[in-house]
Amino acid sequence: MDLIELLRRVPLFQNLSEYHLHLVADVAIEHRVPAGTRLTRQADFGGALFVIADGEATIHRVDERGMQRPVGMVRPGEWFGVTSLFLREPRDASLTAVTPMRLWTIPRPAFEDLLERHPDLDADLWIPAEILDRLEAPRFAWMEPGEVVLFVSRRHWLGLALGLVRGVLAGLVIQVIVAALDALTPMAVSVPLWSAVAVLIAAALSVWRWVDWTNDYIAVTTWRVTHHERVAFIYESRSEAPLDRIQNIHVERGFWGSLLAYGTVTIETASAVGSLRFDRLPHPEELREIIFAQLSRVRATRQAAERHLIRDELLSRLHEELDRPAPQDDPSTAQPIDYVETPLSQEVVPGRLTRLLAWLSASGIVPQVRVVTDDAVSWRQHWIFLLVSTTAPGALSLALAITALLGFWGWSGGVMALLPGYPFVALFLLVVCLGWLWWQTDDWANDVYTVTAERIIDVKKRPLFFSEQRREASLGMIQNVRFSMPSFWAAMLNYGDVFVQTAGAGEFTFHRVPNPREVQAEIFRRIEAFREAQRQREASRRRSELSEWFSLYDELREQDTPPPGHESSPASEGGRGTRS
């Protein structure tokens, strides 16, 4: 079948002109593969659209319990992999050729380059709604590279409507009061002017309510659930829970919730205080279904990846025991046709202000509140609290130093003339104040919050040999992370508290840390890296054990196999002897 005719059958290209179809055909690559060839593999990142000209392939899918089942066939004239042209996500199924096949692939890089060179072609594509929703999903500042929003919702419109009504009522009440006062005692200022002021107040309250309503939301991404609350310049909080830490989702509805289709959602983790609660959520069952569907997909992807690694490990051990290299032309052992390396996480580039503060800290101009080493990141409290605690001893030290210098230079005016030897007294007090200043500075510097590749550490220490408290917990125990900027000054100076809730060690609180959003994001990144490394170690251990089990099985089977020419006796066969 002609490639142009095949492309015309794909709904994605159904609106393209003949010229555009030929442009797409120019970037397609033809493949002729034997039976047994792996076209795609579940859990691998897809990188191409497949269009089948001849032959058939079977579709297998591994579920979240690790069971692999056939779910369909792909035949001539069909296609698969449209999502891979637009999104870098793991494939949901594996395809294997069951007959010799001739097919075409359209690689994603070539397709993206084509769309960049021909924007009119992009406008004529018929992109499926579920893919379009992903492409048009909002991108939040706290998201990591490769993370995609699956669901986002603000509170039900009822809360916004009530707030707007209250604003209008406030304006009307002001107008009624003004009119009543003017009727009793004529006012110097005209009533229309007061009415205009009332309208402005009502409008300001309504705008404030609308902004406040838009600032609060709950979002589900491919990695986590996030609950964000914010009152501009007054308060901000964001709670996060990794998807694989979610245990239960409860939905509560009252009378009005049942009538207007909204409810309160409570998302529970293993932590005793680790619940995320969002009230007046429209259609809360949709959120629950999306979370559980993504959880199932993530678990199925991990099971499939583990299955592939076990298969590769067993094949490697088999070839080692047979003392022969793996066949290079075996289609069942080769990489899939559209195999691409797992995309690496992009480096997070700090902003200009962050880079400036880092340079000032490294230069010693300002105290270091964030210290980065090869395997850890540490934070101290915001520098404003160092400034507050050292203002009094610093000011006194400066005044005493000036007083002592003037005394040693012979100045003895004012009340100083009444105190014999006052320069020495001022010098003594200066030493005391400098000690006080050092104490406050060292006390601030000793309180450190650290996140390593494996642990979270909270150290509170007094100067010298006084008290020290140190708490630690594994990153694997963390259930959720949230931050709070509880006041106007916290929002203006960009500091706040970060709360890390664990399953066993209780709650860790990073008090008054600078840029709590970045602290929360850093903790979350390290949690994900730790859990991924933990999964890989566990998978490697299981594969090694499984390989050893099969090796032991082969040894036992060889021991029980009789040598050639040996015939077992009747007794050894379990038969009965005969009397002579």
C-alpha pair distances (Å), 65 with each of 15, 59, 205, 219, 528: 41, 18, 53, 27, 22
Mean pLDDT of 82-89: 88
Q: How does DSSP classify residue 464?
A: T
pLDDT digits (tens, 9 = 90+) for 168-191: 887 778 777 777 776 777 655 566
Contacts of 575 (CB under 8 A, 6+ apart): none
Mean pLDDT of 112-128: 91
Cα–Cα–Cα angle for 224, 227, 233, nearest 5°?
135
pLDDT at residue 112 greater than cutoff 60 = yes
Same domain, 96 and 172: no
* Residue 537: its H or E element: helix 516-560
Same domain, 65 and 154: no
Count how many domains the chain has: 3
Q: How confident is the model at residue 177, as a pLDDT?
A: 78
- Give me the chain's average pLDDT, please: 83
Same domain, 257 and 178: yes
In a 3-state reduction of DSSP, which class is residue 545? helix
Is residue 395 in a domain?
yes
The whole-angstrom separation of Cα 245 and Cα 269 is 6
The whole-angstrom separation of Cα 377 and Cα 451 is 5
Is residue 236 in a domain?
yes
Q: pLDDT-derived band of residue 341, with 50, 70 and 90 as boundaries? A: low
Tokens coding 139? 């991108």
Is residue 550 in a domain?
no
Domain boundary, last residue among 135, 167, 193: 135
- Around Cβ 570, how many Cβ atoms within 10 Å? 10
Q: How confident is the model at residue 567, as a pLDDT?
A: 53
CATH of the domain at 131: 2.60.120.10
Same domain, 154 and 281: yes
Is residue 538 in a domain?
no
Q: Which residue has the higher pLDDT, 200 or 381?
A: 381
Is residue 156 in a domain?
yes
pLDDT at residue 202 greater than cutoff 90 = no
Q: Which residue has the higher pLDDT, 352 or 204?
A: 204
Is residue 334 in a domain?
no
The whole-angstrom separation of Cα 383 and Cα 400 is 25
Same domain, 281 and 221: yes
User: Starting at the edge strand that comes first in sequence, how are the strands of the sheet with 262-268 ordered?
Assistant: 248-252, 262-268, 276-282
Same domain, 161 and 78: no
Q: What is the β-pairing status of strands 57-62 and 29-33?
A: unpaired
Domain boundary, last residue among 263, 291, 319: 291
The whole-angstrom separation of Cα 40 and Cα 44 is 8
Phi, psi of 323 (to 5 degrees): 55, 45
Q: How confident is the model at residue 273, as a pLDDT?
A: 54
CATH of the domain at 256: 2.30.29
Tokens coding 330? 């075996």
Q: Percentage of the chain with pLDDT > 90?
A: 40
Could you tell me which of 30, 21, 216, 233 has the C-alpha nearest to residue 125? 21
Q: How confident is the model at residue 565, as a pLDDT?
A: 58
Same domain, 9 and 106: yes
Q: End-to-end alpha-carbon separation of the chain, Å?
A: 82
Q: How confident is the model at residue 55, as a pLDDT?
A: 94
Number of residues written out for the chain: 580
Q: How does DSSP classify residue 229?
A: E
Same domain, 153 and 285: yes
The whole-angstrom separation of Cα 405 and Cα 219 is 63
Q: How does DSSP classify residue 354?
A: H
- Around Cβ 333, how many Cβ atoms within 10 Å? 15
Same domain, 128 and 155: no
Cα–Cα–Cα angle for 22, 111, 73, nearest 5°?
85
Mean pLDDT of 463-477: 87
pLDDT at residue 548 greater than cutoff 50 = yes
Q: Helix H segments across 322-382?
A: 352-362
Same domain, 228 and 269: yes
Same domain, 107 and 232: no
The whole-angstrom separation of Cα 291 and Cα 224 is 9
pLDDT digits (tens, 9 = 90+) for 257-299: 999 999 999 998 875 556 889 999 999 999 999 999 999 998 8
Could you tell me which of 247, 359, 243 has the C-alpha nearest to residue 298? 243
Range from 54-58, 206-210, 409-413 that averages highest in pLDDT: 54-58
Residue with tokens 């993530």: 298
pLDDT at residue 478 greater than cutoff 50 = yes
CB 143 within 8 A of CB 196: no
Domain boundary, last residue among 443, 469, 491: 443
- Strands of 311-398 (E only): list them: 370-372, 376-379
CB 324 within 8 A of CB 556: no
Q: How confident is the model at residue 205, as a pLDDT?
A: 82
Same domain, 67 and 186: no
pLDDT at residue 579 greater than cutoff 60 = no
pLDDT digits (tens, 9 = 90+) for 129-165: 889 988 888 889 888 887 889 999 999 999 889 888 8
pLDDT at residue 571 greater than cutoff 50 = no
Mean pLDDT of 456-483: 89
Contacts of 206 (CB under 8 A, 6+ apart): 163, 164, 167, 168
Could you tell me which of 299, 247, 305 has the C-alpha nearest to residue 276? 247
pLDDT digits (tens, 9 = 90+) for 445-459: 899 999 999 999 999
The whole-angstrom separation of Cα 88 and Cα 424 is 74
Q: How confident is the model at residue 326, as a pLDDT?
A: 53
Model pTM?
A: 0.75
pLDDT at residue 347 greater than cutoff 70 = no
Is residue 94 in a domain?
yes
Q: Percentage of the chain with pLDDT > 70?
A: 83
Cα–Cα–Cα angle for 217, 219, 221, nearest 5°?
165
The whole-angstrom separation of Cα 240 and Cα 519 is 13
The whole-angstrom separation of Cα 515 and Cα 449 is 14
Number of C-alpha atoms within 13 angstroms, CB side, residue 366? 16
Tokens coding 459? 């150290």
Is residue 122 in a domain?
yes
Q: Helix H segments across 240-367?
A: 255-260, 284-321, 352-362
Domain range holding 17? 3-135
Residue with tokens 């493949």: 31
